[in-house]
Homo-oligomer: A and B are copies of this chain.
Amino acid sequence: MSVRAGIVITGTEVLTGRVRDLNGPWLADQLLELGVELAHITQCGDRAEDLTAQLVFLAGQNVDLIITSGGLGPTADDLTVATVARFYGRDLVLDDALEQRIAAILRRLGAGRPGVDFDAVMAANRKQAMVPVGAQILEPVGTAPGVVLYSEHQPTVVVLPGPPRELQPMWSTAVATDGVQRAIAGRTRYLQRTVRMFGLPESGLAETLREAQFQVAGFDNLEITTCLRRGELEIVTRYEPDAADSYTALVELLRERYPRELFSEDGSLIDDQVAGALAGRTIATAESCTAGLLAARLADRAGSSAYLAGGVVSYSNEAKIELLGVDEALIAQHGAVSEPVARAMAEGALARFGADTAVGITGIAGPGGGSEQKPVGTVCFGLAVAGSDTVARTLHLPGDRSDVRERSTTVAMHLLREHLGSTQLP
């Protein structure tokens, strides 16, 4: 038996895409951890009839729990509590004690702010103290209280405010309420594991998964989703604890079939692995087509200053020659996009920054600049590691300018992982 939930995100600014919704993904994650299956997320604007339609839809989908976010403010277009109450068949009543608590919060917030008409603010906020009969109140983190509605014959509804910094702590409070606990009592605890691969096409994996149906006992107990992200294949599997052997068998099959391509079984990202491999090292970059994206990606994580010395963006040939010491003749002979130049860029960065590891990237991101021999998407990589021979590789990457540039940083990360994993510091 499994417990299903639906999430309703309200707000015209979210529906129209002006404001990015952060609550749907966050709540999805929380439900997953709880072992509650998320069936639907719906978004609507600040219109009572559309919100009602979504609530009716979700209730008809046999969900046990509905969570709404947004529409709890003091203005006229904030209508979630009233709409949910009507849907639930409950009247709204003013909760005097709650009104006093909201007033206290507003007084504290307004303190020392000049020109605020406190009576007008309170009148506008009185509506936030109107709660459905019998609802459990979630104390405000900002100024808006949430509510939990429970009945035997309808899904439990949790009404939360839109701002994530209010919604998140209030969700924790909501989970502990009777209404939510009863709704999720029958939940199944699932495990979720992620495998990541690099360097194979999605269709190849699809073929392997079709074969796995016959080779992995209990394959049907695994809920597998695959997706291509930043040039990597991500395979997420969800299963009940007693299907653990099937999952182990699946991973063994993947490991056997893709010994080079499978790089992560424990949820770690390539960025985590490279950060680990760089511990105790110093890295520098020399970038042409990626123009700083690799350095920026390495610097994404806090603490990267321990190993990132810096980099050169050598967009022009002069910069390659002057700043990285690439031999002009090398460029003339092989072209700026060539393995010898990528190698020389990496070695130049190694020397200039006094690093022990360096990556050079030079390529044609497009849309212009391609030729028959070197079409758009041709990217050359060089990896220089102190005490080892410098290696070079050429790839033809698909997609537009921005795809080619981003994909190039992923390739560079994998080049680092492969070589640093097996190379000892001198």
**Cα separation A116 to B41 with both chains bound (whole Å):** 38
Give the nearest-CB partner of A367 in chain B: B302
In the bound complex, residues from chain B placing their C-beta under 8 Å from that of A110 are 201
| Chain A interface helix/strand/loop/mixed | mixed
Give the nearest-CB partner of A73 in chain B: B202
A281 CB to closest chain B CB, in angstroms? 13
Interface residues on A, range: 35 or more
Give the nearest-CB partner of A17 in chain B: B25
**A121 contacts B204, C-beta separation under 8 Å:** yes
A115 CB to closest chain B CB, in angstroms? 9
Stretch at the interface among A79-87, A315-323, A380-388: A315-323
Give the nearest-CB partner of A354 in chain B: B318
**B225 contacts A46, C-beta separation under 8 Å:** yes
**Cα separation A337 to B112 with both chains bound (whole Å):** 19
Copies of this protein in the complex: 2
In the bound complex, residues from chain B placing their C-beta under 8 Å from that of A374 are none
- A203: which of B11, B74, B236 is its contact (CB, 8 Å)? B74
- Convert A298-328 into 0s and 1s, putting 1 for each residue whose CB lies closer than 8 angstroms to a CB of B: 1110111100111111111011001100000
Stretch at the interface among A93-101, A392-400, A415-423: A392-400
**Cα separation A367 to B74 with both chains bound (whole Å):** 28
In the bound complex, residues from chain B placing their C-beta under 8 Å from that of A25 are 16-17, 20
Residues of A within 8 A of B (CB): 11-13, 15-20, 24-26, 28-29, 32, 38-47, 50, 53-54, 57, 61, 73-77, 109-110, 112, 116-117, 120-121, 123-125, 165, 201-207, 209-210, 224-227, 229, 234, 236, 285, 287, 289-296, 298-300, 302-305, 308-316, 318-319, 322-323, 352-354, 366-368, 396, 398-403, 405
